[in-house]
A and B are shown apart, each in its own frame.
Chain A
Amino acid sequence: MDDEGRRTIARLAGDTLPRLIERLTKSELGELEVRENGWRIRLRRPFLNGEPAEAADVRSGRDRARAAGAGATGQPHADRPAIASRAGHPQRAEAARGLVTSPGVGFFVARDGVGVGFKVSSGDLLGHVDVLGVRQEIVAPVEGVVAAVDVEAGQAIEYGQPVARVEANVQ
């Protein structure tokens, strides 16, 4: 890596990265990318695919294959986005395994007919959480069969609380 490259990466890691993290945290964007001098920083939210993704991706466009092996480690502050991924959304990963969690704080409203053994497609309505009279939908994260319902109709539930579990169909 030449001096110019080192300077660029120091600036990207030292100045640009913290600002990008702040912006990504405040926004609803899933991904942000900045390019400079053939280098790029890409920040991805760690929970988009239900798997903790590589949170920071700093590498050279000229030298991508080699940099990919080294990853982002060794760069100053490369650990900071990783912190974000540790404190991220555990329930998104759980959703991939069929765990249904509450999207809000309120009272659980069951959907008629939904119970153990109920067949669902991904996105099917399982019930609602009533937040001050406004109903937020609780939907099946995967296609499959309802294996458990953990809460009763009318029960107070908090954000992220497990509500049900859907056993995914074996593909």
Chain B
Amino acid sequence: MFSKVLIANRGEIALRILRACRRLGITSVVAYSEADRESRAVQLADEAICVGPPESRRSYLNAPSLLSAALLSGCEAIHPGYGFLSEDDTFAEMTRAHGLAFIGPPPEVLERFASKAGTRTLLAKHGLPTIPGSGLLRDDAQALSEAERIGYPVLIKPSAGGGGKGMRMVRSPRELQQAMTVCRSEALAAFGDDSLYLEKWLEENRHVEVQVIVDRFGNGVHIGERDCSVQRRHQKIVEEAPSPALDQGRREELADNAIRAVVAAGYENLGTLEFLLDRDGNHYFIEINCRIQVEHPVTEMLSGLDLVVEQMRIAAGEPLGYGQQDVVLRGHAIEFRINAEDTEHDFRPQAGVVENYLPPGGPGVRMDSHLYSGYEVPPYYDSLLGKLIVWGPDRTAAIARSRVALDELIVDGIVTNIPLHRALLSHSTFLDGEFTTNLLDRVGSGAFLAASRAA
């Protein structure tokens, strides 16, 4: 195992990685931008190195700066967290070229799974059902003919990246032509790559993903699925496991398919396979995330595994050491993303000082957050303030505990989406486990907020 690790990220995930390092007795070095000098991770780190100005392009995305920081502090490995450089095969390659370990898939694995269109073809070959779609689009004319072949509505998707940027659902050739330009420029701005492809749009679908771990010797296990159907503009808001939309047979079929395909395709380290679930419970593979995910604690609550520790063990070359029969999933867990955004005003991101912060407690309640009273949320990065994760022996118990926890959680001084979470928990669609990915966008979050006020 490594003795010193550079944490090349910020916010709650930097803190999460730091905790895993502590548990393993690894010395942590936090790389931070000038805007994060007062962050909790920097305060708690064994060592901290300023790697650049607030703009992430010159700090958290600045590969030479991060590598230099790792080398001069004597680190043996870099943990990239999620976002930023976490799935960048060039960065992983540079890391290795400087004699350091990249905590994630090796560069050639990242490269193999870098293109979403290529990954779908590869995993379809290994038996995963995929949504009808196009290859990478050359031009608008090809987009039009491919959309005609697939059948409207179609989803325009960027080949690189995620998070809903550069993504549009279109219902006609006219909408397609209009959206292509916007999607290209959004994709270029967000990921530096404007290649797009098309996918058939499934109405009323659910988003379900399977967590996998594979060591470098080809031993792999799945750790069940997560349901991330509560979304707004393709951004996840609430995640839970197990999925209320799958019966035991479908659940096992999905997870078994996923792990069999990625092992056969030569995947390594922690990963998540995302699927869409149609109304009839059929699953279609959409993409793989080659990193630790925001919603990983949901799986940790069910399995008792520390996924960041597992990630580090595998990157250090250790064998998995257990099999599928050893992975036991218990109870139900729900994660609420606490974001600094104004749900009443189109989810406008907020920045400012958190005057008072009090996390909730009690059995089954976990709060992963970098907040503290007096912390100033900088305006440069995403709006995630933390995650409330609640476990219960079953879904009803988890929801009851979630209500108590959300009522206890205090984040003063900054507008957050906590009211939306409370509203969701009092809405029959969520309580009945019938959320679909387009629901919030279709009816608007205002409808949920208004319903909870009326109740």
Give the distance to chain A from B380, nearest Cβ to Cβ, in Å. Answer: 6
Are A158 and B49 also in contact (CB < 8 A) when A26-B55, A107-B72 are?
Answer: yes
The answer to whether A159 touches B65 (Cβ under 8 A) is yes
Give the distance to chain B from A17, nearest Cβ to Cβ, in Å. Answer: 10
Looking at chain A's contact residues, the main secondary structure is: mixed
Are A132 and B64 also in contact (CB < 8 A) when A14-B345, A159-B51 are?
Answer: yes
Give the distance to chain A from B153, nearest Cβ to Cβ, in Å. Answer: 28
Are A87 and B65 also in contact (CB < 8 A) when A14-B345, A80-B351, A158-B49 are?
Answer: no
Give the distance to chain B from A100, nearest Cβ to Cβ, in Å. Answer: 16
Looking at chain B's contact residues, the main secondary structure is: mixed
Are A83 and B50 also in contact (CB < 8 A) when A105-B72, A106-B68, A106-B72 are?
Answer: no
The answer to whether B376 touches A132 (Cβ under 8 A) is no
Chain B 39-61: CB-based contact to A (< 8 A → 1; otherwise 0)? 00000000001111111010100
Residues of B contacting A26 in the complex (Cβ-Cβ under 8 angstroms): 55, 57, 189
The answer to whether B351 touches A161 (Cβ under 8 A) is no
Chain A 148-165: CB-based contact to B (< 8 A → 1; otherwise 0)? 000000001011110000
Give the distance to chain A from B345, nearest Cβ to Cβ, in Å. Answer: 7
Give the distance to chain B from A96, nearest Cβ to Cβ, in Å. Answer: 17
Residues of B contacting A18 in the complex (Cβ-Cβ under 8 angstroms): 348-349
Tell me which of A26, A87, A160 has the highest count of chain B C-beta atoms within 10 A of its own C-beta.
Answer: A87
- Which listed residue (A87, A107, A134, A158) contacts B376, Cβ 8 A? A87
Chain B 364-383: CB-based contact to A (< 8 A → 1; otherwise 0)? 00000000000010111000
Task: Compute how far the CA of A131 lies from the CA of B68 in the bound complex, rounded to whole angstroms.
Answer: 6
The answer to whether B69 touches A158 (Cβ under 8 A) is yes
The residue of chain A having its C-beta at the shortest distance from the C-beta of B377 within the complex is A83
Q: Is B163 an interface residue (CB 8 A)?
A: no
Question: What's the tally of chain B residues with a CB closer than 8 Å to chain A?
Answer: 30
Task: Compute how far the CA of A160 lies from the CA of B52 in the bound complex, rounded to whole angstroms.
Answer: 8
Residues of B contacting A40 in the complex (Cβ-Cβ under 8 angstroms): none
Task: Compute how far the CA of A45 lies from the CA of B67 in the bound complex, rounded to whole angstroms.
Answer: 29
Q: Is B34 an interface residue (CB 8 A)?
A: yes
The residue of chain B having its C-beta at the shortest distance from the C-beta of A155 within the complex is B72
The answer to whether A132 touches B57 (Cβ under 8 A) is no
The residue of chain A having its C-beta at the shortest distance from the C-beta of B33 within the complex is A159
The answer to whether B51 touches A87 (Cβ under 8 A) is no
Residues of B contacting A84 in the complex (Cβ-Cβ under 8 angstroms): 351, 379-380
The answer to whether A25 touches B34 (Cβ under 8 A) is no
Q: Which of A43-69 contact B (CB under 8 A)?
A: none
Query: Number of contacts between A and B (CB, 8 Å)?
Result: 76
Chain B 118-148: CB-based contact to A (< 8 A → 1; otherwise 0)? 0000000000000000000000000000000
Task: Compute how far the CA of A131 lies from the CA of B49 in the bound complex, rounded to whole angstroms.
Answer: 14
The residue of chain B having its C-beta at the shortest distance from the C-beta of A23 within the complex is B189
Task: Compute how far the CA of A14 lies from the CA of B35 in the bound complex, rounded to whole angstroms.
Answer: 24
The residue of chain A having its C-beta at the shortest distance from the C-beta of B54 within the complex is A87
Residues of A contacting B67 in the complex (Cβ-Cβ under 8 angstroms): 132
Q: Is A20 an interface residue (CB 8 A)?
A: no
Task: Compute how far the CA of A134 lies from the CA of B68 in the bound complex, rounded to whole angstroms.
Answer: 11
The residue of chain B having its C-beta at the shortest distance from the C-beta of A84 within the complex is B379
Q: Which of B58-102 contact A (CB under 8 A)?
A: 59, 64-65, 67-69, 71-73, 98
The answer to whether B64 touches A25 (Cβ under 8 A) is no
Give the distance to chain B from A159, nearest Cβ to Cβ, in Å. Answer: 5
The answer to whether B34 touches A160 (Cβ under 8 A) is yes
Q: Is A98 an interface residue (CB 8 A)?
A: no
- Which listed residue (A21, A25, A134, A159) contacts B50, Cβ 8 A? A159
The answer to whether A87 touches B53 (Cβ under 8 A) is no
The answer to whether A105 touches B349 (Cβ under 8 A) is no
Give the distance to chain B from A134, nearest Cβ to Cβ, in Å. Answer: 7
Q: Is B317 an interface residue (CB 8 A)?
A: no
Task: Compute how far the CA of A107 lies from the CA of B59 in the bound complex, rounded to whole angstroms.
Answer: 17
Chain A 65-91: CB-based contact to B (< 8 A → 1; otherwise 0)? 000000000000001100110111110
Q: Is A141 an interface residue (CB 8 A)?
A: no
Task: Compute how far the CA of A131 lies from the CA of B348 in the bound complex, rounded to whole angstroms.
Answer: 38
Task: Compute how far the CA of A18 lies from the CA of B341 in the bound complex, rounded to whole angstroms.
Answer: 12
The answer to whether B53 touches A105 (Cβ under 8 A) is no
- Which listed residue (A21, A83, A107) contacts B352, Cβ 8 A? A83
The answer to whether B65 touches A25 (Cβ under 8 A) is no
Chain B 342-364: CB-based contact to A (< 8 A → 1; otherwise 0)? 00010011011000000000000
Q: Is A144 an interface residue (CB 8 A)?
A: no
Residues of B contacting A14 in the complex (Cβ-Cβ under 8 angstroms): 345, 348
Give the distance to chain A from B343, nearest Cβ to Cβ, in Å. Answer: 15
The answer to whether B68 touches A83 (Cβ under 8 A) is no
The answer to whether A87 touches B35 (Cβ under 8 A) is yes
- Which listed residue (B52, B345, B348, B380) contacts A159, Cβ 8 A? B52
Give the distance to chain A from B375, nearest Cβ to Cβ, in Å. Answer: 12
The answer to whether A156 touches B65 (Cβ under 8 A) is no
Are A105 and B34 also in contact (CB < 8 A) when A25-B380, A132-B67 are?
Answer: no
The answer to whether A25 touches B68 (Cβ under 8 A) is no
Task: Compute how far the CA of A106 lies from the CA of B98 in the bound complex, rounded to whole angstroms.
Answer: 14
A selection of 15 A-B contacts at a CB cut-off of 8 Å is A18-B348, A25-B54, A25-B379, A80-B351, A83-B352, A83-B376, A84-B351, A84-B379, A88-B54, A105-B51, A132-B64, A132-B67, A132-B71, A159-B34, A159-B59
The residues of B with any CB-CB pair to A shorter than 8 Å are 34-35, 49-55, 57, 59, 64-65, 67-69, 71-73, 98, 189, 345, 348-349, 351-352, 376, 378-380
